[in-house]
Amino acid sequence: MTADVVVVGSLGMDFVFRVPRLPRTGETLKGQSFSTVPGGKGGNQAVALARLGARVAMVACIGDDANGRSLRAGLEADAVDCRAIESLADQVTGVAMVAVDDQGQNAIIIVPAAYGMLSPEIVARHSALLDRARFVVCQMEIPADTVAWTIRHARRAGAKVVLNPAPILGPLPQDWLDAIDYLIPNEIEAEALSGIKVDSPVSAQAAARHLRGCGAANVLITLGAQGVFAATSDGGERHYPAIAATAVDTTAAGDVFVGGFVASLASGGSVADAIAFGQAAAALSVTRHGAQTSIPRLEEIMRKGA
């Protein structure tokens, strides 16, 4: 299989705690339930892409342990090409602790472990995948120098570069922005990148304009319940209201949007169509618990008329 989309990113196991509310500093809070769920932003996006119709491969690192073997098996079951997922004998698989409250909001702590060892040298061993891809998708849970190498190589190879800059600590280097075709931050990330507080479609418009002016070809700022604001390379600017949904768990909703958006683009959809499709997928995902367990399949979205 030749992958249309290659995801270079994190792959980890999520330990999910259901709580009535998020704990305060120093507080011990009794939880309601516990589950172990496949995750990692890269893994979530790869699964979303595959379930939503794209041919996808993943470049990642896992530990040589039970969590790593379980993650690989899950991706393979979703038809993700896993040949470029390397097992590291001296590392454990990355993990995340996810607390989800009764309103569906979450707080997350990650320990990268193996996926923190995904180096430019490892990605370069699988550069043939990137050379054949139409889209290359990255996030920021892997080392920054690996993201930099990947987006530069992908751009030279002619692929469209998609960056979901999460988690983010500050502005991106100029040469990164110049190489990005689709920059997809949420409100917090857009503020860190632009210096503009983002809390509404109006402020998102200002931040998106700023980021496009800095070099990113297209900027899509996800606003949770307020939808998505897009500033595109043709000069268009548009707010896409959110699809109404009763959220029980927002974990991975942003990853599902990214996966749905890129899957639609890869199938020939316009940017507007891809945003609508990504929103439909994300809206369905928040009605379910967990990360990869919440990701819908293409036939579910099509039944709802997206």
User: How do residues 148-183 score in pLDDT, each as one tens digit?
Assistant: 999 999 999 999 999 999 999 789 999 999 999 999
CA contacts within 13 A on the Cβ side of 275? 24
Closest by CA to 290, choosing from 13, 56, 30, is: 13
Q: If you average pLDDT over residues 104-108, what whole number do you get?
A: 82
Q: If you average pLDDT over residues 89-117, what whole number do you get?
A: 91
- Check residue 305 and give its pLDDT: 66
Write the pLDDT tens digit of every residue in 219-268: 999 999 999 999 999 999 999 999 989 888 887 899 999 999 999 999 99
Q: Catalytic positions, please? A: 255
The answer to whether 115 touches 90, Cβ cutoff 8 Å, is no
**Residue 220 bridge partners (DSSP):** 230
pLDDT at 83 over 70: yes
The ranges assigned to domains in the chain are 5-10+41-59+120-303
Task: Name the least confident of 30-39, 121-130, 199-208, 246-255.
Answer: 246-255
Write the pLDDT tens digit of every residue in 266-306: 999 999 999 999 999 999 999 998 778 899 999 998 887 65
Q: If you average pLDDT over residues 135-157, what whole number do you get?
A: 97
- Check residue 193 and give its pLDDT: 96
- 155: its two tokens: 């751009």
Write the pLDDT tens digit of every residue in 34-50: 999 898 999 999 999 99
Q: Which CATH architecture has domain 5-10+41-59+120-303?
A: 3-Layer(aba) Sandwich (3.40)
Average confidence score pLDDT of the chain: 94
